[in-house]
Structure 1
Amino acid sequence: MSTADFRMIRPVAITDAMLVSSSVPEALAQEYAPGTAYALGATVGVTTGTMQLVYQGLQASNTGHAPASSPTWWKPLGAVYASYSAAATYALGDIVSSISAGVHDLYESQAAGNTGNPLTNDTKWLRRSATNRWNLFDKALNSQTVAPGSISIAIIPGLVNTVTLLNVEGAQATVSQSVSGYTSTKSLVRHDVLSWYDFFYEEPIRSGDVVFDDIPPYGAATLTITVDNAGLDAAIGGCFVGKSRTIGLTQWGLTGGTLSYSTPTTDKYGNTTVVKRANAKRLNFEVRIPQGFEDEAFRLLTEYTDVEMVFIGCSDRSMTITYGYLDQWQVPVSLNGANAPISIRGLT
């Protein structure tokens, strides 16, 4: 397999049963009590309003050390929110969770004195996002799963051979598999500069997209995915696992750009302001279709037109990796192979 193979990754939807474990909390923890002696690894919470900050104990015989001010005794795991209660009264801006089988959502109150109004009442409640634990699986790349220091999940997704992590913030990402012993770690630190001045004065970037496309396919295997970012928050916007299918070889001359959803507004004096919103990738490829493979390429592209999936133009170039859908494409027929123009519209 070449790094320049043009591939479509058909994602597997991750269900509750597939998610074996996650280092990111979702439910409320037992409230911290100063007089309690906590064991190594104990989990506690500190609640303010509907939000609770969750901590994990770093030492045994942990008594009287306030989690927020005792970093040698407690490690922060992230924020969770109380479950919605029809009997409670919520203030404007309060956030609650709705968690059940296949449901992992956060809602924000749109009114003061919000009592007894169901979450389906869109004048009183606005769906904010998935819960922090499930943001990386919700297909919305701009809503990230975020945790201090690192994120680690274990999943059993079935027969897959590719893991794609998008909109990642971290120093490195690691994927390992239980059956084969496969493990691979890739750096996420980038310091692309054009001069020595920039080398010394531009800070390295800890973000980007990364693909693990050499995973042995075993249906019963557990995949462990970890992003480390010591001293900073680790974040994953999208985690996609699936089987890849190669269409042809990506040719030089591909182009990449963005679709901006920001809104500029100009007042009567000509002053323009921009309301910053998300943007998505737009990619244009020329893909070399091998002679004799045209019918199958046409079938695959037809089948997956308007289907959301991961596309990889070149696994070594982050700009060519996106989650989106086929926009325009054509498959030429030639005696010795020809280039197919393929356009991809990314999703946010």
Structure 2
Amino acid sequence: MSADFRMIRPVAVTDVRLISSTVPEALVTDYAGGSTYALGDIRGVTTGTAQVVYQSLQASNTGHTPASSPTWWKLLGTVYAPYSAGTTYALGAIVSSIATNVHELYESQIAGNVGQAVANNPTKWLRRSATNRWNMFDKAINSQTVAPTSVSVVIQPGLVNTITLLNVEGASATVSQSISGYSVTKSLVRHDVLNWYDFFYEEPIRAGDVVFDGIPPYAAANITITVDNAGLNAAIGGCFVGKSRTIGLTQWELTAGVLSYSTVSTDTFGNVTMVKRANAKKMNFDVRIPEGFESEAFRLLTEYTDVEMVFIASSDYSMTIAYGYLGQWEVPISNSGRAAPIEVRGLI
């Protein structure tokens, strides 16, 4: 194997850089049975602190209950009421905490929960995750932004040339840019088989990791990212944008695996109980550093040691795309062709 080993130096997506999203986050006006709604109107159905959000699919929409009228209403997702210090919350109630660059959900850990701030109060409130809209931009790949049929966002991240989507569920992913005309769609349907029996009886899957590179870097450009999955939920676990930098050529004998955080316990009778938890990717490989580039490679690897980012050992293999950090590494100055050993430790 001979492929570029690249580090995607990260650019964080903040409030000012997220231009729009099809995934709701805040409460909307509740649906009223006697009202007439226009095409595109958005209304919610509230139960407790949760609100299910719908969008009208037709004009003159009257008397059609959103949850039972799929030809009249499109489900957009679920949002949660913002925390209020004067409200008493039940055990298990979920609230949102939304401010500038803060987009989080908390779950009440006690009954009769009133006057207890959500932040830094773990005995009263458990942080569940980012809000659904922002799950794709947090640092946890296993927490996904999920929506029926499609997820689409528009960002303005500045000078970037690479977008990596991880833990994706969908039939296809598309990235387009407003200035250059760059627009690329990649299929996410996989049907990797070893024999004819598998071809006919193993179902294709709609999941994986995908990289869009070669995006022309324009500071003022809007970039639209869309994952489509008609008839099913679309999901994005991690959306990482940044600038790619090549370090060298990845050599054959690369290995990739996972670190499992599941636990196993055995009772006195030998019965085994497994608690399934997340796992993280790990990779080990050698990189041939071009002659004369050794010092710059050393500088780059030093600068980005202990920095969370996307690493790509080979674009030909999705298993070699990882979000994590550098482990052990060395850069040789060699006249015998010795390569640089690189370790990448993934995050969940």
TM-aligned CA deviation for residue 296 of structure 1: 0.7
Which of 117-126 and 224-233 deviates more?
117-126
Which whole-Å CA distance do the structure 2 matches of 1:200 and 1:339 have between them? 43
TM-aligned CA deviation for residue 336 of structure 1: 6.8
Which whole-Å CA distance do the structure 1 matches of 2:151 and 2:317 have between them? 24
Matched residue, 1:228: 228
Which whole-Å CA distance do the structure 1 matches of 2:221 and 2:2 have between them? 25
Cα pair 2:172 2:185 within 8 Å, conserved: yes
How many percent of aligned residue pairs carry the same amino acid?
76
TM-aligned CA deviation for residue 337 of structure 1: 4.9
Equivalent runs, 1:32-43 vs 2, <5 Å: 32-43=31-42
Equivalent AA in structure 1 for residue 64 of structure 2: H
1:274 aligns with 2:274: yes
Structure 1 residues 336 and 181, CA, compared in 2 at 3 Å: closer, same or farther? Answer: farther
Matched residue, 2:214: 214
Which of 330-339 and 116-125 deviates more?
330-339
Aligned residues: 347
Matched residue, 1:124: 124
Q: Deviations over 1:208-249 (max 9, x none)?
A: 000001100111100000000000000000000000100001
TM-score (norm 2): 0.98
Matched residue, 2:47: 48
Matched residue, 1:115: 114
Matched residue, 1:137: 137
Which whole-Å CA distance do the structure 1 matches of 2:211 and 2:3 have between them? 13
Which whole-Å CA distance do the structure 2 matches of 1:336 and 1:3 have between them? 18
Which whole-Å CA distance do the structure 2 matches of 1:201 and 1:335 have between them? 52
TM-aligned CA deviation for residue 19 of structure 1: 0.4
Secondary structure of 1:89's aligned partner: coil
Cα pair 1:22 1:153 within 8 Å, conserved: yes
Which whole-Å CA distance do the structure 2 matches of 1:204 and 1:277 have between them? 25
Secondary structure of 2:67's aligned partner: helix
TM-aligned CA deviation for residue 3 of structure 1: 8.6
Which whole-Å CA distance do the structure 2 matches of 1:27 and 1:337 have between them? 57
In the alignment, structure 2 segments of 5+ residues that lack a partner are none
- RMSD of aligned C-alpha atoms? 1.1
Matched residue, 1:163: 163
Which whole-Å CA distance do the structure 2 matches of 1:186 and 1:38 have between them? 36
Cα pair 2:96 2:103 within 8 Å, conserved: yes
Cα pair 2:2 2:251 within 8 Å, conserved: no
Matched residue, 1:315: 315
Which whole-Å CA distance do the structure 1 matches of 2:167 and 2:43 have between them? 30
Cα pair 1:289 1:338 within 8 Å, conserved: no
Q: Deviations over 1:190-211 (max 9, x none)?
A: 0001111111111111000000
Which whole-Å CA distance do the structure 1 matches of 2:32 and 2:336 have between them? 74
Cα pair 1:142 1:167 within 8 Å, conserved: yes
Equivalent AA in structure 1 for residue 138 of structure 2: D
Equivalent AA in structure 1 for residue 267 of structure 2: D
TM-aligned CA deviation for residue 285 of structure 1: 1.2
Secondary structure of 2:153's aligned partner: strand
Cα pair 1:27 1:80 within 8 Å, conserved: yes
TM-score (norm 1): 0.98
Which whole-Å CA distance do the structure 1 matches of 2:186 and 2:174 have between them? 6
TM-aligned CA deviation for residue 338 of structure 1: 3.5
Equivalent runs, 1:1-348 vs 2, <5 Å: 4-120=3-119, 121-335=121-335, 337-348=337-348
Q: Which 4+ runs in 1 deviate beyond 6 A? A: none
